[in-house]
Amino acid sequence: MPTLITTTAKRVGAVAVFASIAGLSACSSRPETADIQKELAVAYQCSILELSDIKKTDGAEANGKGYDVAFSHTVSIKGGKEAAAILFAKWSALAALVQEIQIAYEQASLEAGRHFQTGNSGVVSGSAVANDPDVREAAALRQKFKAELKRIQPCENITAVSQLQFMRIAADEAAKSGQKQIPVPIAIKVRGHGRMVKTESGWHFTDIPDFQMEQIVTSDPVTYPRF
């Protein structure tokens, strides 16, 4: 039968072990994969993307000013090859259309400015130009297709957009073949490195890490939409 002294000693020992483990966790002197994963989840926060294969590959103290880490990860398009094909095809078509409309808008604004300048002794009102029928029509079209483009490609963070741009360029190149079915980018493997510092909320990058594309992963041939 355990005595009061024995029971108390066991409890004290358990508390000591727990305190030791907690202390080691709280005083972690270096960021690990989990810390990098939390930061990348923010950087790639977008409804059409998935993150996987996040791994810390190297690290070293940075002269007492933080910790330099190297890492790798994969960014994939949600929905697989069919979703990727629609995304890149629509994105490229809408981007080209928005560019054309932007040129038309600028030309309409220039023509309206010249018109008002001629009829008003060289004085041009910005509101008058904006209210010109041709300018308003071009502005409305520009806004409409920009909104549609944002719906198709909703990512805003520069890190996410940059990786998507790499994949879109690869899709555009494959589409130039004119084939009905082409392999489309469905993921991109990326390596990165950056400096992290520890705050009360955990480890955070001090600036946007330096990312380098390692490989674009393509699918089996899939029907590529033409818009």
Q: Which two tokens stand for residue 60?
A: 């070293």
pLDDT at 124: 57
- Cβ 216 vs Cβ 193: under 8 Å: no
Could you give the CA distance from residue 28 to residue 66 in angstroms, rounded to a whole number?
12
- Cβ 182 vs Cβ 166: under 8 Å: no
Q: Which two tokens stand for residue 41?
A: 């989840």
Q: Which two tokens stand for residue 7?
A: 């029971």
pLDDT at 151: 95
Q: pLDDT of 157-166, one tens digit each? A: 999 999 999 9
Could you give the CA distance from residue 35 to residue 172 in angstroms, rounded to a whole number?
35
- Cβ 69 vs Cβ 31: under 8 Å: yes
pLDDT at 112: 80
The amino acid sitting at 122 is G
Residue 28 pLDDT > 80, yes or no? no
pLDDT at 46: 97
Could you give the CA distance from residue 69 to residue 209 in angstroms, rounded to a whole number?
9
Q: pLDDT of 119-138, one tens digit each? A: 555 555 667 778 888 889 98
Longest dimension (CA), the chain: 108
Say how many residues make up the chain: 227
Q: pLDDT of 163-208, one tens digit each? A: 999 999 999 999 999 999 999 999 999 999 999 999 999 999 999 9
Residue 10 pLDDT > 80, yes or no? no
Residue 146 pLDDT > 80, yes or no? yes
Q: pLDDT of 65-112, one tens digit each? A: 899 999 999 999 999 999 999 999 999 999 999 999 999 989 988 888
Binning pLDDT at 50, 70 and 90, where does residue 15 land? very low
The amino acid sitting at 192 is G
> Radius of gyration (Cα) for the chain, nearest Å?
28
String of DSSP letters for 144-213: HHHHHHHHHS---SHHHHHHHHHHHHHHHHHHTT--SEE--EEEEEEEEEEEEEEETTEEEESSPPEEEE
Residue 42 pLDDT > 50, yes or no? yes
Could you give the CA distance from residue 164 to residue 96 in angstroms, rounded to a whole number?
17
Residue 17 pLDDT > 50, yes or no? no
Torsion, Cα 85 225 165 96, to 10 degrees, reads: -160
Whole-angstrom CA distances from 133 to 58, 98, 169 are 60, 19, 36
